[in-house]
Amino acid sequence: MVAFTLVPLTLAVGVGWAAATDNMFPTYVNDSHCWTGFRKGSPCQTDNRDVYFYMDSHGEYMLEAVDKKTVNAAIDGEYRPTDLAFHYDSTPVFKGSGETDIVYQEGSTGLPDSVAGTTWCDAAGGDGVDCDQQFIRVRGAGYYTYARSCHETGHAVGLQHGDNSNPRLSRTDSRLGCLVTPSTGHNDLGANNVTNINATY
Ligand SMILES: [Zn+2]
């Protein structure tokens, strides 16, 4: 997979780099390929600074109104202040070259008992780094917290846990903001993640 192994450009930019760690996929310690498939690999980058998102509104994986409100609050509070531009997509696209970037679901299908939520790529791009469409699935009945919404949305734009960051950090290092694992109580995206996002998009 050498052809797809990119040196993160963020590391080459010496000036103004104030992050605690590089946790934007691919990192030096996690330079794997972006794969298509449920829980098949690392979270990938999204393919554009304009991020179109949809929250399932009917069917098996629909979010309740309270969960939608929480997801919107986390996007408004943590992601809109970054260089990413989030847009709600009420007519989501699931096929072709311009799919809706993030689809939020509520449900537990396929999740191991110990896992509250997950993010996966459903349409890897050709460069091995980007994903055209990422799904977020979080259990029902109270699991769609602000912190977890911040955490999984972070994965959907490429942010990694501490053990996949360079330099490696403990998965509970508070500098990881809401990418701390488990995210409970860590509501803020935080300076490290904002720096990584803004250096990438
Ligand atoms: Zn995670």
Q: What does the chain look like in DSSP terms, one character per residue?
A: -GGG-PPPHHHH--TT---SSB-BSSBTTB-PPP--STT-S---EES-SEEEEEE--SSTTPPPHHHHHHHHHHIIIIITTSS-EEEE-SS---SSSS--SEEEEE--TT--TT-SEEEEESSB-TTSSEES-EEEEE-SSS---HHHHHHHHHHHTTB--GGGSBS---TT-GGGGGGSSS-TT----HHHHHHHHHHH-
CATH number for the region 19-200 comes to 3.40.390.10
CA of 161 to the centre of ligand 1 (A): 6
CA of 11 to the centre of ligand 1 (A): 23
Please write the tens of the pLDDT for every residue from 10-28.
554 444 567 999 999 998 8
Please write the tens of the pLDDT for every residue from 164-201.
999 999 999 999 999 999 999 999 999 999 999 999 99
CA of 156 to the centre of ligand 1 (A): 10
CA of 174 to the centre of ligand 1 (A): 14
Domain boundaries, the chain: 19-200
CA of 154 to the centre of ligand 1 (A): 8
Amino acid 28: pLDDT: 82
